[in-house]
Structure 1
């Protein structure tokens, strides 16, 4: 059973669940992956904590993880990129495998031609190096927006959380196009709010966007199809 440690944010959690369903090869209800979800919207703000301006979210994330364990989860997904900066601490506290969103993305990028990847993410995800080291291990270079552009990305993420995705879309599209113009063959939507805002994008830009939420969903489907986890479920 897939356990979803969600609520960061709630809309991104619903988007992740929908992508698990859409990507599962199924002909009937029973072909789908059993999921148990803890939409723990009370988890303190991850970015504020990393700036030293808010409470540590780790205890609340660990409590949500314990709830998923008690509910019978056999593996865990966290549809929030910034929360993965606590991945090692969370993994150390549970015997259940916690799939890593950045690993899922870099696996997906391996099949794409090109060597420079743009990353649209929270400032904490960027400064925490969540993607850069993994991209470098795959022989990929990376670019992020300049400081003014990064401030716009953060504004757009806040707009999505406030239910104002259309306003966010215009900002994020501009930043993604700027990364493409700077030579990026792909642009990772490395905050789970960003695919919500850019869901309607089409054309050449759509072909260049890499959805971290969808990459995680596909990794979860593959993991849950493995004999060990299938037997546990």
Structure 2
């Protein structure tokens, strides 16, 4: 089983406890994909940094930070200014169906993380996925 909601993964442990089926955590799945892509964690002497773009609720839940951190990856989150002036307006633009404006803001947010020397950017929000062509 997979929980399709990013925020709901904050309760993954409680919900999956006693489940007889494999119940995947989204953060663990992302960590496995990074390993399969041959990205090495900082425990191996690598300096791979993973940028995570998400809403403030998902960031506060800490699902990605915890699971990626447990696998030895350094997680980089947007700073407060990026959240307030880029990501929040991007989601607002999406809700107004301003796809062009939303795409531009999301590209800027990705660039901000790239400037902070991340190697990979994970779009960890239902609202942010499928925006870029």
Q: What band does the TM-score fall into relative to the shorter chain?
A: 0.7 to 0.9
Deviation for aligned residue 1:161: 4.7
Q: CA RMSD in A?
A: 2.2
Question: Pick from 94, 115, 118: which aligns with 1:181?
Answer: 115
Q: Which moved more, 1:118-127 or 1:155-164?
A: 155-164
Unaligned stretches of 5+ in structure 1?
Answer: 1-75, 201-233
- The normalised TM-score by structure 1 is 0.48
**Residue equivalent to 1:98:** 23
Aligned pairs (5 A) from 1:1-233: 76-92=1-17, 94-110=19-35, 111-112=38-39, 114-151=47-84, 152-161=86-95, 163-198=97-132, 200=133
Name the larger-Rg structure. 1
- 1:96-126 alpha-carbon deviations (Å, 9 max, x no partner): 4332111111111122255111110111221
Deviation at 1:85, TM superposition (A): 1.1
**Separation (CA, whole Å) in 2 of partners of 1:91 and 1:166:** 39
8 A Cα contact 1:159 1:167, kept in partner: yes
Alpha-carbon distance, 1:195 to partner: 2.3
The 8 Å contact of residues 115 and 139 in structure 1, kept in 2 or not, is answered as no
Q: How many residues align?
A: 124
Unmatched runs of 5 consecutive residues or more in structure 2:
41-46
| Structure 1 consecutive aligned stretches of length 4 or more whose deviation exceeds 6 Å | none
Tell me, yes or no, if the aligned pair for 1:166 and 1:197 is still in contact at 8 Å. no
